[in-house]
Structure 1
Amino acid sequence: MSLPALHGVVPILVTPFHEDGRIDEESLANLVEFNIAAGVHGLGVALGSEVFKFNEAERAQVTRVVIAAANKRVPIVINSGAAGTDLAVFYSKAAEAAGADMLMVIPPSFMPVSSDEIFDYYKAIDAAVGIPVILQDVPQAPISPGLALKIAAECPNVKYIKVETLPVTSKVAAMAEQAGDRLTIFGGAGGSYFIEELRRGALGTMPFCSQPADFVAVWDAFRQGDQATARQHFDATIMAINRLAVQGGDIFYFIHKQILVRRGVIRTAVVRSPTTAIDRITAREIEELIAEIVPVATPFRQLAA
């Protein structure tokens, strides 16, 4: 089966910060290089990047750094969803103008809205841009298979959907059955159900960016028909990190950033406030697990000129 333009492992980049909270451009460029070297099929800037904590200048800054660092080697997906239609259109047009290859758009979630309003929201974004759009189905703003199909039928740029509404495995299966001929389906939620999603019709995942080589190895094994190796590698390298990362709040940011610090890819594991306070026991568990996953700590070093 031929694969669509975007498929496989498309990690969502964390945003590295200096100790004073400024965006660390050198670490961000390093992170892009680290992931591309691992063989990923694309990269994204989205909720896992803390975009909801950025001002507009910082959105533009991160977009610029990521696109420049990738240098057209892989597609770049920029999240441009917002609480208002006009704002989402503004973010979408800005991302396209900056050189983004695709957009990922979450529905409005601050206040409940009807399916008709969600449709109109995507219709407005689609009319404003000329690059592919990924629908983002999340628990706080779910997109039903029927609505996804309606949006895809009326919005020519809508080509993909990232499914994250629980239970994700059954939602992926339902989406593949009803809209799989119109939309390429991605999993999300940290890639915790990557193999199960692939079995049910997904053609990729958008996990965090601290273990790209491991996710690529799982993808490659699955695509080669070796599900036993895919499962063995997933359980040995990814499962424990994902299990710990969902213990509470947003500790997943710190865990994935700390892995990258230990690997010498980024300078700090700073997460912007507000963020979950990590208790002493959890901190020790995180340190022990990361030391097991990455046995030797490496000092920060520049990966590419």
Structure 2
Amino acid sequence: MPLPMLHGVIPILVTPFHEDGRIDEESLANLVDFNIDAGVHGLGVALGSEIFKFNEAERAQVTACVIRAAAGRVPIVINTGAAGTDLAIHYSRAAEAAGADALMVIPPSFMPVSAEEIFDYYLAIDRAVGIPLILQDVPQGPVPPGLAIRIIEACRNVKYIKVETLPVTSKVAAMAAVAGDRLTIFGGAGGSYFIEEMRRGALGTMPFCSQPADFVAVWDAYQRGDEAEARQRFDSTIMAINRLGNQGGDIFYLLHKQLLVRRGVIRTAFVRSPTTALDPVTAGEIEQLLAKIVPVAIPFGTSAA
């Protein structure tokens, strides 16, 4: 059975900035190439890209830059969820017009909403666009299996779901049991449970973009039935970064950006305010780990996967 259009490793791109906070398009294009050269199966722009800190022009700028840099080599997923249905439709139509291959849509979460309101939200977006939609099940806006079934029965474009509600492994298993033959399931949460999710029915993950070759190696090993190799690669290269990045706040942004700077992929590790200030101990831990992964920092623009 052929794999669906979206499957495997689809990293969510960080947004590189200049030191003054402007979007660094050269670094972003380098980041796209770095990931595609590593063999990823797609790329995404989403919450891990700091899109919630963008103005309207910047959202369009990043979407256009990523699509232009990818040049059709891999599918591009743009997150177009919003606190209001009309705004989500606006973002979705704009991303489709810009050339996105699929849309990932988080439920409204600023104010509590009912399952019926979430259903109506997805139905309205589905009717407004003509490309695949990815439901996003997150702690602040859960999409349980029963609701997912209702949505896919009513929406022609909903083909995928990204499961991130804790505990993610049991949620992936529950979703696969109910909707696995009708929805392609992705894991999220930085790919921390990638192998466990694949065992339970997931066909991919959407991690951060600083270790694409490692995630692709895990995917490849698992697909050829070598789970021991998949586990060894995951534990030796990915686990330490995810564990440190999950220590608190949003330090994962800085951690992944610093790794990309050290690899020569992006110019700076600037994270837009507000962001967690690192204490000296954590800063030291990050520096120690990154020096182990990339012993000699690579100048910007000369990166290697």
TM-score, L = length of structure 1: 0.99
CA distance in 1, matches of 2:249, 2:269: 16
AA of the residue aligned to 1:284: G
**1:159 maps to what in 2?**
159
CA distance in 2, matches of 1:5, 1:22: 33
**1:145 maps to what in 2?**
145
CA distance in 1, matches of 2:20, 2:111: 33
**Residue 203, structure 1, aligned to residue 203, structure 2:** yes
Deviation at 1:99, TM superposition (A): 0.4
AA of the residue aligned to 1:41: H
**Residue 14, structure 1, aligned to residue 20, structure 2:** no
Deviation at 1:270, TM superposition (A): 0.3
Superimposed CA distance per residue, residues 178-203 of structure 1 (whole angstroms, 9 cap, x where no aligned partner): 01111000000000000000000000
- Superposed, 1:225-240 pairs within 5 Å as 225-240=225-240
Q: Secondary structure at the match of 2:135?
A: strand
**2:39 maps to what in 1?**
39
Q: Secondary structure at the match of 1:135?
A: strand
**2:267 maps to what in 1?**
267
**2:111 maps to what in 1?**
111
AA of the residue aligned to 2:184: T
Deviation at 1:2, TM superposition (A): 2.1
Tell me, yes or no, if the aligned pair for 1:133 and 1:160 is still in contact at 8 Å: yes
CA distance in 1, matches of 2:111, 2:182: 29
Deviation at 1:223, TM superposition (A): 0.1
Superimposed CA distance per residue, residues 190-217 of structure 1 (whole angstroms, 9 cap, x where no aligned partner): 0000000000000000000000000000
In the alignment of these two chains, the number of paired residues is: 304
Superimposed CA distance per residue, residues 211-262 of structure 1 (whole angstroms, 9 cap, x where no aligned partner): 0000000000000000000000000000000000000000000000000000
Q: Which runs of 5 or more residues in structure 1 are unaligned? A: none
**2:71 maps to what in 1?**
71
Percent same amino acid among aligned pairs? 81
- Superposed, 1:82-93 pairs within 5 Å as 82-93=82-93
**1:256 maps to what in 2?**
256
AA of the residue aligned to 1:160: Y
Deviation at 1:296, TM superposition (A): 1.8
Q: Secondary structure at the match of 1:186?
A: strand
Q: Which runs of 5 or more residues in structure 2 are unaligned? A: none
Superimposed CA distance per residue, residues 261-291 of structure 1 (whole angstroms, 9 cap, x where no aligned partner): 0000000000000000100000000000011
CA distance in 1, matches of 2:41, 2:166: 25
Q: Secondary structure at the match of 1:276?
A: coil
**1:185 maps to what in 2?**
185
Deviation at 1:302, TM superposition (A): 6.1
CA distance in 2, matches of 1:33, 1:296: 21
CA distance in 2, matches of 1:150, 1:219: 31
CA distance in 1, matches of 2:19, 2:48: 19
CA distance in 1, matches of 2:273, 2:62: 18
AA of the residue aligned to 2:3: L
CA distance in 2, matches of 1:2, 1:200: 19
AA of the residue aligned to 1:196: E
CA distance in 1, matches of 2:220, 2:169: 20
- Superposed, 1:51-66 pairs within 5 Å as 51-66=51-66
CA distance in 1, matches of 2:14, 2:257: 7
Tell me, yes or no, if the aligned pair for 1:30 and 1:266 is still in contact at 8 Å: yes
**Residue 220, structure 1, aligned to residue 220, structure 2:** yes
AA of the residue aligned to 1:289: L
Deviation at 1:301, TM superposition (A): 1.1
Tell me, yes or no, if the aligned pair for 1:30 and 1:302 is still in contact at 8 Å: no
Deviation at 1:169, TM superposition (A): 0.1
Deviation at 1:295, TM superposition (A): 1.6
AA of the residue aligned to 1:61: Q
TM-score, L = length of structure 2: 0.99
Q: Secondary structure at the match of 2:103?
A: strand
Deviation at 1:73, TM superposition (A): 0.3
Q: Secondary structure at the match of 1:63?
A: helix
Superimposed CA distance per residue, residues 83-142 of structure 1 (whole angstroms, 9 cap, x where no aligned partner): 000000000000000000000000000000000000000000000000000000001111
